Structure 1
């Protein structure tokens, strides 16, 4: 009996060592790609002539629009505010010489997809960035204290990803090439108290993306989900950038280094390290009343001091 237990613990120990070795290799890969940009310009161009970006009027979506245009792709901007899209389109055309198409659509509504489909006809779409999203509460709040825009959040954060993927994946499948980047969030990696609706909606994006990648990777299509933490954008009230909080431009530039590395990542090295640290916290501590008090007090004060919250 003693020999059996000894062998059992040896096997368990080897498995634990293997798991941590794989984690070290993963971090080594991100460190390498953080400092040595190895994505060839031709990779993105080989997927197709056009990139479609939802939520392109601000923040991460706007940054992807400019960066993908710099990589030689024509751009389809989709967002709610026509004036913003027109300004961004002119800036991209002047800076890169690429063609830009505008589609005005409000992703909090469910009746927009036939209109989008008609406007995408005839375009060889190689890249789709499902970026559009809404955060009902930047400050941590209990579910019943959050605004009642539940259906709008579901349409914007969940329905948009499903419907836009459905529209464009068919074309990618027929050509057997394409790249879909789904922007989730670090708070979607596990349930976050006091951000319940946002966390749940972003968890859907994670699970949906990973399942689709398993279905379509052998058909030449890459479907990747990004799970960043703090990014300074209008949605986060322009949080002051620091070691953890990235600007949208910096985040997007770094995230494109990793588009060929797997189905899921945080998008930047700093957030990969943060995610690794957060996963060390035991669940009982993370879901305790003490942690919720920490969010409601210290973290709320930090947000108020570092964001444009009125």
Structure 2
């Protein structure tokens, strides 16, 4: 009887693990296959005319804006550097038959920028909001050695932007009874990372914020997706050359974003790419404390490399 009990407990635990950690992988595969057998979706018809992408002058945000334009969405680009936004807008309009608009603001400046954004978006039919913008550490280091300015900017960008942009757009989506919000977190959302803990903590906030508003907005037919990429080749990872090379778990940005957009409307939570889903599932087999020790060692390695390079540059 006791053995049967432990067998049932083990079976239940295994099924819970498989459901929680492999669902993303199966949904990604089904989304990719779905495109081959079903007529291509009209995102404008389903969600609305315009898509907003924050942090869209580089990296995932820039590529996500292009991919949505490929699907027929008009694009609002929001980021800090106007010259880069102009260039991205021109690229999109030259490649696809869509309209673009850009808003140059620095989310690190907090509350004062949102009135400008709201004014620029007035009377626009916003169907999709992609909260992508985020700041990463320039290099890992102890919490108290990072400046107050850097920490406050990271909180304003990584937490404030997704929260306040969602707050701005949700009333319109609720009134229209349609819409999609995509919040980009990271696979680091499930573990503290000593020497980069503010960044990891902001991603944990995005996870719980997203899951919470999913439930709130479901009855209004407004969808909210939590997207949790692992390592993608972007400038955010430029503090180490290792993450700028192709590898099984380090994905070219074009491949990642194309797969992630396939999952729109088909998965509330997704890593966005099959290799990332597999990595996520494998990592969850490892106890959190062991994962944290491993990540701490990696962070210490890159901190040491940074200071070695810094000293080397001083000697030169």
Which position in structure 2 is the counterpart of 1:157?
158
Q: Aligned partners of 2:254, 2:5: CA distance in 1, in Å?
A: 50
Q: Aligned partners of 1:173, 1:160: CA distance in 2, in Å?
A: 20
Which position in structure 2 is the counterpart of 1:307?
none
Aligned CA-pair RMSD: 2.7
Q: Aligned partners of 1:153, 1:160: CA distance in 2, in Å?
A: 10
Which position in structure 1 is the counterpart of 2:117?
116
Which position in structure 2 is the counterpart of 1:297?
301
Which position in structure 2 is the counterpart of 1:308?
none
Determine if contact 1:255/1:268 at 8 Å carries over to the other structure.
yes
CA offsets, 1:224-259, max 9 Å, x none? 111111111222228223222222222110101112
Using a 3 Å threshold, how does the CA distance of structure 1 residues 142 and 78 change in structure 2: closer, same or farther?
Answer: same
CA offsets, 1:254-274, max 9 Å, x none? 101112233211111111111
Matched, 1:19 2:24: no
Determine if contact 2:191/2:288 at 8 Å carries over to the other structure.
no
Q: Aligned partners of 1:83, 1:37: CA distance in 2, in Å?
A: 36
Number of aligned residue pairs: 301
Structure 1 counterpart SS, 2:157: helix
Structure 2 counterpart SS, 1:276: helix
Greater per-residue helix proportion: 2
Q: 1:299: how far off?
A: 9.7
Determine if contact 1:136/1:146 at 8 Å carries over to the other structure.
no
Which position in structure 1 is the counterpart of 2:208?
207
The structure showing larger relative contact order (alpha-carbon pairs under 8 Å, at least 6 residues apart) is 2
Determine if contact 1:45/1:72 at 8 Å carries over to the other structure.
no
Using a 3 Å threshold, how does the CA distance of structure 1 residues 224 and 6 change in structure 2: closer, same or farther?
Answer: same
Q: Aligned partners of 1:291, 1:135: CA distance in 2, in Å?
A: 15
Structure 2 counterpart SS, 1:14: helix
Using a 3 Å threshold, how does the CA distance of structure 1 residues 287 and 95 change in structure 2: closer, same or farther?
Answer: closer
Which position in structure 2 is the counterpart of 1:265?
270
Using a 3 Å threshold, how does the CA distance of structure 1 residues 156 and 294 change in structure 2: closer, same or farther?
Answer: closer
Runs in 1 of length 4+ with deviation above 6 angstroms?
A: 298-301
Structure 1 counterpart SS, 2:9: helix
Unaligned runs of 5+ in 2: 309-316
Determine if contact 1:60/1:252 at 8 Å carries over to the other structure.
yes
The TM-score, its normalising length taken from structure 1, stands at: 0.88
Q: 1:112: how far off?
A: 0.5
Using a 3 Å threshold, how does the CA distance of structure 1 residues 202 and 294 change in structure 2: closer, same or farther?
Answer: closer
Determine if contact 1:80/1:107 at 8 Å carries over to the other structure.
yes
Which position in structure 2 is the counterpart of 1:228?
229
Which position in structure 2 is the counterpart of 1:282?
287
Structure 2 counterpart SS, 1:280: coil
Q: 1:14: how far off?
A: 3.4
Which position in structure 2 is the counterpart of 1:254?
259
The TM-score, its normalising length taken from structure 2, stands at: 0.86
Q: 1:300: how far off?
A: 7.2
Q: Aligned partners of 1:45, 1:246: CA distance in 2, in Å?
A: 31
Using a 3 Å threshold, how does the CA distance of structure 1 residues 95 and 277 change in structure 2: closer, same or farther?
Answer: same
Using a 3 Å threshold, how does the CA distance of structure 1 residues 20 and 197 change in structure 2: closer, same or farther?
Answer: closer
